[in-house]
Structure 1
Amino acid sequence: MTQPDATPLRRTPLHAAHQKAGARMVPFGGWDMPVQYAGVKAEHEAVRKNAGVFDVSHMGEFRVTGPDALKFLQHVTPNDVSKLRPGRAQYNWLPNERGGLVDDIYIYMAAPDEYLMVVNAGNIDKDWAHLNALTAGYDVQLANESDNWALLAVQGPQAAALLQPHTDVDLSAKKKNAYFAAKLFGHDVRLARTGYTGEDGFEVFVDAAQAEALWDELLALGITPAGLGARDTLRLEAGFPLYGHEFGDDIHPLSSHYSWVVKDKEHHGRAGLQAAPTQKLIGLKLDKVPVREGYPVKVGGEVVGRVTSGTTSPTLGHPIALALVNPDAAAADAFEVEVRGKDHPASRTEIPFYKP
């Protein structure tokens, strides 16, 4: 019997540009995405020392408008959206009812009664259904604009200096979590100073039809194209949780060091977040052997948890990992991580692993 074809991978507006730049493409969250170009270490170091550009166009964008837009967002998230003003952005969560997360998100306030929500690529359909199921009783309109936008992230200590001559906005006047309209190489864009690499940088929202031209102009400045490999090593060094690894539908987000997200207010999923987490997220350092997601973490030979993310840190030169462990084991200093049937020593270390 002929098997039905698998669902084809989606492509961002920059797919041809990635192939032109020699990217190695891999499936990621239903998308065909670049994992590396020149190599993960070279791309990682470019972002740490100069600037790199990532294609994050696979992320989803939802427009939230209407007289009850703020009231609705306050209902579906635990952070205090009322603190936002036009031109500001905020990290937030979409909790479910059982003490996990539907997703972790960013909310950008464009104007009174108008917000843009950016969600993880693999969660677009799930988030859309979740939000629409909660609109009853609110005078609010949701629009899925994910296919309209390309999103490029220019990250690194030289990002602002490299972009400044080509934009009409004083970037030095824009603080962390700013969100604003600008011209960039003559393109009408929205810029956000949020970031996920631990370095300074700007996310560039641009019309999908203009994405490839803008990408070429950024590369012509000497900005290094960077793929998913460097994105992961950079965010892990910075200690940032990643949905599907440190966060998930059945992972209590307060296991992490992100308790600051939850404010004292009524919201959907509050009861689940108030339940005590049964795990704690810790940082681990190893001497030589890199570890990966799912590897057992032990204390004195007894399994106390598992690795959620691991890599060899290009900046620090040794393996690092995030792990979810039993709360009573989290205070230990010495751990072992089982790799292919053999235990390797690991020591608990502070998160983030690296600060610029």
Structure 2
Amino acid sequence: MKNTALSATHEALGAKMVPFAGYNMPVQYDGVTIEHETVRKSVGVFDVSHMGEFLIEGPNALALIQKTCTNDASKLTIGKAQYSCMPNDDGGIIDDLIIYKLKEEQYLAVVNASNIEKDWNWLQSKNDVGAEMKDLSEDYSLLAIQGPEAVNAMQSLSSHDLAEISFYNFIVGDFAGIEHVIISATGYTGSGGFEIYCKNTEVKQVWDAVTKAGAKPIGLAARDTLRLEMGYCLYGNDINDTTSPIEAGLGWITKFTKDFSSSEIFKDQKEKGVDKKLVAFELDERGIPRQDYDIVDGKGHKIGVVTSGTMSPSLGKGIGLGYVPTIFAKANSKINIQIRKKAIPATVVKLPFYKG
């Protein structure tokens, strides 16, 4: 089990620690609902240092990214980030990731912790263009400072105007007394804020400053309920090696202005349609949908499976995501979630669940 540079800090704070993607991670401190509401109403900080970071640089860096990712990274300018996914050759998804353009011919790819080795090997196998690659995952930490009060609470920690960093933009500047950290207006909660990339040797100083400035420590359980209220996909649950971005509602990051792995498969799906789609649903009665629960039609026939589900702290009702045949995918369609021996009626809704 690996530790992040802050694992001992979380333990000292009384966090409940659990194994996650091979790391010893804090799942909660004061309780999921309290932490969830802190991020929705104020400001919290997550240690997400288990995430992976690859530096891709050189004259052919963009060529490697373009052939292995669905989004069009040629549109990136320095200081901008882009959400994308990395497909395999069979119409599935190896991972979803964020690409940052740091400099001309220099990009940072941020990948999911559980997929670091898989992603690295895939990129290397496709790197016949001679792009330079470095795996920085073991040396860098990542903090997500999230919530509507993030800008106000953190402004004293940087000489830069944090309010000027727009969504999916970033700067490299000073923060919490550390020079040259990435301050990125990205996150996984839908409540605004920043993600801070710094070296492992610097992160304790940053964490202490951020918590002193008013951010409450938040665990991974609340991160999951927050992302689910926005309908953000979680790799391994809602997207995987067998789901396509077209089926998952990620057509908006799938650009056919270039060729990439499985691009012909996805183009065909976009033109002809798909048999199943990832939908969002709310339960019409009390109940909590969980991953792998069956989705059934009005006659009790299995039509799909829940990929993510929870009791929404903000809405006070059961919400979830799952794949169903396309005929059930329109908003207001009626489906049922099999919870133990009872089929609980549910309604397909448009995302996000949480409107803010």
Q: 1:275 to 1:292 in 2, by over 3 A?
A: farther
Instruction: Choose which of 278, 289, 308 in structure 2 pairs with 1:281.
Output: 278
Distance in 2 separating the partners of 1:226 and 1:272: 40
Instruction: Give the C-alpha shift of residue 302 in structure 1.
Output: 1.4
Distance in 2 separating the partners of 1:252 and 1:278: 11
SS at match of 1:85: coil
Q: Does the alignment pair 1:205 with 2:197?
A: yes
Distance in 2 separating the partners of 1:270 and 1:130: 16
Q: Which residue of structure 1 aligns with residue 305 of structure 2?
A: 306
Distance in 2 separating the partners of 1:63 and 1:27: 27
Q: Which residue of structure 2 aligns with residue 175 of structure 1?
A: 166
Distance in 2 separating the partners of 1:81 and 1:260: 13
Q: Does the alignment pair 1:184 with 2:181?
A: no
Q: Does the alignment pair 1:326 with 2:325?
A: yes
TM-score by length of 2: 0.95
Distance in 2 separating the partners of 1:235 and 1:53: 15
Distance in 1 separating the partners of 2:98 and 2:286: 36
Would the aligned equivalents of 1:97 and 1:272 in 2 still touch at CA under 8 Å?
no
Instruction: Give the C-alpha shift of residue 89 in structure 1.
Output: 0.5
Moved more, 51-60 or 216-225: 216-225
Runs (4+) off by over 4 Å: none
Distance in 2 separating the partners of 1:233 and 1:195: 14
Instruction: Give the C-alpha shift of residue 275 in structure 1.
Output: 4.3
List aligned pairs for 1:193-272, cutoff 5 A: 193-264=185-256, 265-272=258-265
Question: Percent identical across equivalent pairs?
Answer: 41
Give a deviation string over 1:215-273, Cα, whole Å, max 9, x none: 12211122111111100000000110110111100112211222110112211221232
Query: What are structure 1's unaligned runs of at least 5 residues?
Result: 1-8
Instruction: Give the C-alpha shift of residue 342 in structure 1.
Output: 1.9
SS at match of 1:163: helix
Moved more, 226-235 or 272-281: 272-281
Instruction: Give the C-alpha shift of residue 162 in structure 1.
Output: 0.8
Q: Which residue of structure 2 aligns with residue 93 of structure 1?
A: 85
Q: Which residue of structure 2 aligns with residue 339 of structure 1?
A: 339
Moved more, 229-238 or 168-177: 168-177
Give a deviation string over 1:38-86, Cα, whole Å, max 9, x none: 0100110000000010011000000001111111111111211011011
Would the aligned equivalents of 1:149 and 1:206 in 2 still touch at CA under 8 Å?
yes
SS at match of 1:233: helix
Give a deviation string over 1:153-192, Cα, whole Å, max 9, x none: 0000010111111101111211111121121121121111
SS at match of 1:152: strand
Query: What are structure 2's unaligned runs of at least 5 residues?
Result: none
Would the aligned equivalents of 1:87 and 1:179 in 2 still touch at CA under 8 Å?
yes
Would the aligned equivalents of 2:157 and 2:209 in 1 still touch at CA under 8 Å?
no
Tell me the amino acid that sits aligned with residue 227 of structure 2: R
Instruction: Give the C-alpha shift of residue 103 in structure 1.
Output: 0.4
Count of residues paired in the alignment = 347
Moved more, 228-237 or 206-215: 206-215
